[in-house]
Amino acid sequence: MSIEIERTFLVRGEEWKTWSKPVLLRQGYLSSAPERVVRVRIEGDEAMLTIKGRNVGAARNEWEYPIPIKDASVLLDQLCEQPLIEKYRYRIEYRGFIWEIDEFFGENTGLVVAEIELQSEDQAFDKPDWIGDEVTHDPRYFNANLIRHPYRNWQE
C-alpha cells in the first residue's frame, strides 16, 4: 500500500500541449463509492487495477496492480459503471516535478485539469504559467464523480 498525495488544478490556454505527446487513457469504475474506489485503466499498452480509499485532505491510501489488457477491456466494456472516462494524458516535467495534464473527451469534453503528486500536503512547488485555480477539494472534479455528473452537464 502507498499513500497518494495529489493536488489538482484547472489548466489555462493550450501552450502546454507543445511540451509533450498525449497518451490515450480509458478508465472505468467497478466501485465509485468515495470510501472505496476501484478503477480499471488502460493507458497505452498497459492496464492496471487500482483501489483507493477515502480522501483525507489531498491524501488517500492506494493499491495498484497490473492486469492483462484483454481482461481490462472486458471489465471496461461489460462491468464498469458507464460512461467510461476517456482522456488524453500529457506528462510535463517542470522544475523537478511531473505534472499530469488530462484533456477529457466524450461526456467530459472541455475539461482540462493538471495534477501533481507530492511527498507531503504542504510540500512547496512552482506552478507553470498555464496552471489555474486549484480544485483539489472540489469533488466534482474527481474522475469517479465525472461518470455520474459529466462535465458537459454542469451549469455555470
User: DSSP string covering 36-80, please?
Assistant: EEEEEEEETTEEEEEEEE--BTTEEEEEEEE--HHHHHHIIIIIS
Tens digits of residue pLDDT in 92-144: 999 999 999 999 999 999 999 999 999 998 899 999 999 999 999 999 999 98
Q: Residue 28's closest CA among 53, 5, 48?
A: 48
Entry pTM: 0.89
Work out the pLDDT band at 58, boundaries 50, 70, 90.
confident
Residue 25: which domain range? 2-153
Task: Determine the Cα angle at 104 with ends 127 and 76, to 5°.
Answer: 125
Query: Which of the residues are catalytic?
Result: 29
Domains in the chain: how many in total? 1
Q: Residue 100's closest CA among 113, 86, 109, 110?
A: 113
Tell me the longest C-alpha to C-alpha distance in the chain.
42
Tens digits of residue pLDDT in 60-98: 889 999 999 999 999 999 999 999 999 999 999 999 999
User: Domain with 128 in it: what CATH number?
Assistant: 2.40.320.10
Instruction: Please give the span between the terminal C-alpha atoms of the chain, in angstroms, as a whole number.
Output: 38
Work out the pLDDT band at 156, boundaries 50, 70, 90.
low
